[in-house]
Amino acid sequence: MFAGRMMDYPLTLTHFLERARTYHARCEIVTQNPDRTCSRATYADLHRRAAKLAHALTRLGVGPGDRVATLSWNHARHLELYLAVPAMGAVLHTLNLRLHPNELAYIAAHAEDKVVVVDRSLLPLFRKFAPQVRCIRRVIVIGDDGPVDSDGLDYEALLAPEPDHVDFPRLDERSAAMVCYTSGTTGNPKGVVYSHRSLVLHTLVSCMHDTLGFRDRDVVLPVVPMFHAAAWGLPYSAVATGARIVLPGPHLDPASLLDLMARERVTFAAGVPTIWLGILALLDEHPERWDLSAMRAMVIGGAAAPPALIDGFLSRHGLVVTHAWGMTETNPLGTVAHVRSTLDLDAAASLDTRASQGYAVPFIEQRHVGPDDRPLPWDGATMGELEVRGPWVAASYLGGEGEDRFTKDGWFKTGDVVTIDADGYMRIADRTKDVIKSGGEWISSVAIENALMSHPAVLEAAVFAARHPTWGERPLAAVVLRQGQTASKDELCAHLEPRFAKYWLPDDFLFLDRIPRTSTGKFLKSKLRDEFGDLLEKRASG
Ligand code: ADP
């Protein structure tokens, strides 16, 4: 082989941290505190404090590969942990504070967490599961507003005496940097171990203009929690580019987020659709209250963004939505619904494309397969399971579980049922576990939900399978109406009729105050199925 002669320079997160100090020292990190005041630090502070943290953790016995867990909201100290722990060669494990204590106990034990860093406000939750987890040796408590009087070590007191310089070790780019767990809606949660290399490559591709595109003049607001899939890589993208980062703390209601976006002149925000549905409803009620003129992109992912949401932001408020798809197993970004300039689409086709899940970002490959595992045609109609591969796609789970998700020829089975069109745009019809099969035919719950959410009286809609004595399964729709609005079942049915074959129309509409959500804010259809899955059978027999 005629080998290349370039340096073998490791792709590690340490580089981003060093670079932030060298070139972006004055760039700001803004944290909204629990009392709604804002604290401000800089990337120079980030580097200094990361050094102190690395010394402190070393003093506590944290060595290469040891897991350091966090149970924290989005704030500057969490960002310090995001950088310092991987840079010192240890592994950050972000615990999802919305999980049940039993799940947290399972996950912390499974990951073998040695040290846990906890927000003081989350100590009651921590105490519910920590006694069951024998591997935890140290607890460090982040006081939101002053020193900590508790059974743990005080984060600030721990850092105070440490030197603010450290020579971070030269790491193997394939070494582990972070562990994130899938939410485990089916079976136990599974651990996905990101390497430095996967996170660095994910960051670089995320920063490309037609992916998410970050610039140093951006002001980035990760609404997506830092305990969920590395906050979609946004903290690393911000640090890598020198963008200002605004961290919302525990205040994730629409009004608080809008206040923060307007006050800090946020240019780029990202979160799941349920957050954005609430934000759009509030903006529609008070279109003049917030100045969002700085905003240039709002990324929606984690669940399908309804076209009515994307269109509503643009047509009524001039705000651009970027729709993206990803999974914990893909670091998480996999596809982005960027409309390529060569496509030459009219407004309706452009909205349809922007509401698709998009096409694979560089270095991710996508295909969909049938039950016999053969690749299916990209015709925009044939449904099959999406498979992906690439340098930031998991090759296995921690502990070797879930082997059936990894194919022999190197693809990861996503569990999403999709179509792919001739231009490569992928559209999610369902997750395999949510699929509705009526008389042997697949019905896309996502398509019906999208159509329902385009009705002016509908705030949220989730369509799920109910068992049926004749058809096996039939769709039911759970609907939340906007405040002060009404819509009858007949009206909603009439709204759907022109768009779908008759057998796709839900057998019934259930009007709820709220659709149950998962720990990451997505609609929890398994709960709807548990509660209402036998409704049609009961009716038939009664
Ligand atoms: P979980 O939802 O199990 O907590 P993840 O956060 O990893 O785990 O979610 C990944 C799943 O979320 C994907 O497999 C897909 O079903 C769904 N998802 C992510 N982005 C989108 C999107 N833009 N549109 C529709 N579904 C999405």
pLDDT tens, residue by residue, 487-535: 999 999 999 999 998 999 999 999 999 999 988 888 999 999 999 999 9
Choice from 416, 435, 463 to test ligand 1 binding pocket (greatest atom count within 8 A of CB): 416
Distance between Cα 346 and ligand 1 center (Å): 29
345-377 core/surface letters (b: 16 or more CB in 10 A; e: else):
eeeeeebbbbbbbbbbbeebebbbbeeeeeebe
Please return the burial class of 25, using the count of CB atoms within 10 Å of its CB with bins 0-12, 13-18 and 19+: middle
Q: How many angstroms separate the first and last alpha carbons of the chain?
A: 75
Ligand 1 atom closest to Cα of 337? 23
Distance 306 CA to ligand 1 centre (A): 14
In what helix (H) or strand (E) does residue 300 lie, and over which residues does it extend?
strand 297-300
For 267, 288, 297, 412, 449, the CA distances from 321, given in Å and listed in that order, are: 12, 19, 6, 28, 19
- Closest ligand 1 atom number to CA of residue 358: 23
Question: 59 to each of 65, 76, 77, 94, how far by Cα in Å?
Answer: 15, 22, 19, 22
- Range 311-332 burial, b when 16+ CB lie within 10 A, else e: bbbeeebebebbbbbbbbbbbb
Q: For the purposes of burial, counting CB atoms within 10 Å of the CB of 286, is it exposed (0-12), middle (13-18) or buried (19 or more)?
A: exposed
Task: Note if 378 is an active site residue.
Answer: no
Say how many Å lie between the CA of residue 522 and the centre of ligand 1. 8
pTM above 0.75, yes or no: yes
pLDDT-flagged residues of the chain (< 70): 144-150, 184-186
| Residue among 128, 437, 489, 527 flagged as catalytic | 437
- How far is ligand 1, taken at its centre, from the CA of residue 371, in Å? 21
Contact call for residues 296 and 268 (beta carbons, < 8 A): yes
Catalytic residue of the set 173, 329, 460, 473: 329
Q: 358 CA distance to ligand 1 centroid (A)? A: 14
Catalytic status, residue 437:
yes
Q: Report d(CA 289, CA 276) in Å as an integer.
A: 17
Q: What distance lies between CA 404 and its chain's CA centroid? A: 24
Could you give the CA distance from residue 274 to residue 459 in angstroms, rounded to a whole number?
Answer: 10
For residue 71, the model assigns a pLDDT of 98
Architecture per CATH, domain 434-541, reads as 2-Layer Sandwich (3.30)
Which pLDDT score is estimated for 152?
A: 84
CA-closest residue to ligand 1 atom 27: 303
Q: Are 106 and 80 in contact (CB under 8 A)?
A: no
Distances (CA, A) of 244 to 16, 84, 226: 14, 19, 16
Q: Label the pairing between strands 333-336 and 219-222.
A: unpaired
Distance CA 383, CA 361 (A): 21
Q: Whose CA is nearest to atom 3 of ligand 1?
A: 183
Residue in this structure with the two tokens 């070797």, named with its chain if needed: 400
Q: How far apart are CA 264 and CA 29, in angstroms?
A: 11
Name residue 412's beta-bridge partners: 388, 406
Give Cβ neighbours of residue 236 (< 8 Å, ≥ 6 apart).
13, 16, 82, 199, 200, 202, 203, 230
